[in-house]
Amino acid sequence: MKKQDVLQVGSNEMELVDFRIFKKDGDKVYEGIYGVNVVKVREIIKIPNITKIPNVPPFVEGIFDLRGVVIPVINLAKWMEIETPKDIGIKPRVLIAEFNGMLIGFIVHEAKRIRRISWKDIESGSFSMGNGVLDKAQITGVTKIENDEVLLILDLETIMEELGIYQPNIDIEDGLIDKLGGLALIVDDSTTARKLMKDALEKMGMKPIEAKDGMDALKKLEELYNVYGEGITKELKIIISDVEMPQMDGFHFAAKLKDDERFENIPLIFNSSISDHFSEIRGKEAGGEAYLTKFDAPEFYSEISRVVKSHISSEEK
């Protein structure tokens, strides 16, 4: 898997690792088709020797050593409370994923292939079936594949939050926060992420405007332009965008933004859970002033302040 060959900036496509979880329902066995962004996958390995640890949820299989790094292992089927067939005729694998600079292993029943999918073909995953969320897993996106089957994009970060491995926090001492003023556009499909950034920006004296994806953000920009006209660059101090979003991802949104002379000079920062170096490079190529990893409070405040102050200075010249 060569990261440099993955995708071109602004293509509005993503590559997914397609993996399967088998579910037993009575005498029948069903194949669940799931995916995770390929840039979050470090590697896929055979089941290693796993050391059990006490006082953990039942879906935590234990830990193992991967070339000197101790990695927790999560059984996805158990997390989703899926009853697995005893003999599914395949050898499970461990998908080693990286989120926010941390490694975690996920046991899957089969790793199939890598798929390239357009974000415009991915629908929002904010739905439920029956009395709860589908298979009790958090779904960030849904897309159709061959034979009219459906692939579900899992929010694996939710598991990390449940375990306390990843606890987003943007609190910082008020004395260390610059008061900036002006508008800030937040572009993120996660309501939790938007709330965190909204609270942080309000502490900086800014008025946040929220958009759920790139397409929604372009609509919000049009609305702002109708109000402020050419003065929008003086009012809108910064745009903070996620990368992974249904309909239009952050890189494609950036390409649209920088191709519009009305908005091209408004500074853009990427704020993503994808922490690989290649994505940082893509972010810079897409016109981002910075690429932040969710959520490092000091870095968030520092970069927002730096970029906004630089923008204000350039507008005053």
- Per-residue pLDDT tens for 127-155? 544 333 344 447 778 899 998 899 988 87
End-to-end CA distance of the chain: 47
Query: Is 0.75 topped by the overall pTM?
Result: no
Task: Convert the pLDDT of each residue in 296-313 to its tens digit.
Answer: 788 888 999 999 999 888
pLDDT at 316: 73
**Residue ranges per domain, the chain?**
3-163, 174-316
Higher pLDDT, 28 or 169: 28
**Of the candidates 234, 231, 112, the residue with the CA atom closest to the CA atom of residue 183:** 234
Q: How far apart, in whole angstroms, are the C-alpha atoms of residue 165 and residue 273?
A: 13
Mean pLDDT for 191-195 is 82
Higher pLDDT, 52 or 124: 52
How large a percentage of the chain has pLDDT more than 90? 44
Most confident of 89-93, 160-164, 170-174, 241-245: 241-245
pLDDT at 185: 98
pLDDT at 8 over 60: no
Q: Is the Cα torsion angle 7, 9, 12, 17 positive or negative in sign?
A: positive
Mean pLDDT for 189-217 is 90
Its CATH class, for the domain covering 3-163, is mainly beta
Its CATH class, for the domain covering 174-316, is alpha beta
